[in-house]
Amino acid sequence: ATYLGPLDSPDPPCRARQLYINFREVGWHNWIIAPRGFMANYCQGHCFFPTATKISSLNHAVMQSLMHSVAPATTPPPCCVPVKLSPISVLFYDNSDNVVLRHYEDMVVDECGCR
């Protein structure tokens, strides 16, 4: 489920947006014990100059956004991607009726930036 809040502008800057993954909606709630779901989030928005200088961007992305601003036909803008991620743990039954706890790295987007 994503929550499309009021657009902050016709061309919103790169940032994390809410995306809630609900295991019940994919029919997995019978064998996934916990959690029922988790906030995965996603990145969306532009990395134009000078916005790219105000958020978590690598120097190369700042240069690329500058080049895009002066010569858009030759250089695309940098990409809006996750730059900080968190893990989650999932408790579930496997197909041998064992109770399993599995740790997954990089499942939640905490922060986005230009790359």
Partner 1 sequence: TQPQPGTLSPQASALLQTLGLSPPPGPPPTRPVPSVMWRLFRRGPEATETQGSENEGPEMPQEPQPLPCHVEELGVPGNIVRHVLDGGASAPPEPALGSLCLEKPLFFNLSFLNPKEQLTLVRLELNFGAPADLAPAQDWELSLSHAQGPQLWGRPLHWHHREVLLSQTVPTLHDPLHFDMLALGRLGNSTFPQNLSLVLELLPGRDSDLPKGLCTKLGHSLEASLLVVTLDPQLCQPTSRKRR
Q: How many helices (H) and strands (E) does the chain have?
A: 2, 8
How many residues line the site for partner 1 (CB under 8 A)?
Answer: 35
102 binds partner 1 (CB under 8 A): yes
Nearer to partner 1, 11 or 101 (CB): 101
96 binds partner 1 (CB under 8 A): yes
Give the residue ranges of DSSP H helices in 1-115.
Answer: 51-54, 59-70
Shortest distance, CB of residue 74 to partner 1, whole angstroms? 26
2 binds partner 1 (CB under 8 A): no
Locate 81 and state its tokens. Answer: 């991607």
Residue 40's φ and ψ, nearest 5 degrees, are: -85, -40
Per DSSP, the three-state class of 17 is: strand
- Range 76-92 burial, b when 16+ CB lie within 10 A, else e: ebbebebbeeeebebeb
Nearer to partner 1, 79 or 107 (CB): 107
CB 65 within 8 A of CB 47: yes
Among 19, 33, 62, 79, binds partner 1 (CB under 8 A): 33
DSSP 8-state secondary structure symbol assigned to residue 5: P
Nearer to partner 1, 12 or 33 (CB): 33
40-79 binders of partner 1 (CB under 8 A): 58
Interface contacts to partner 1, rule CB under 8 A: 26, 28, 30-31, 33-39, 58, 86-105, 107-108, 110
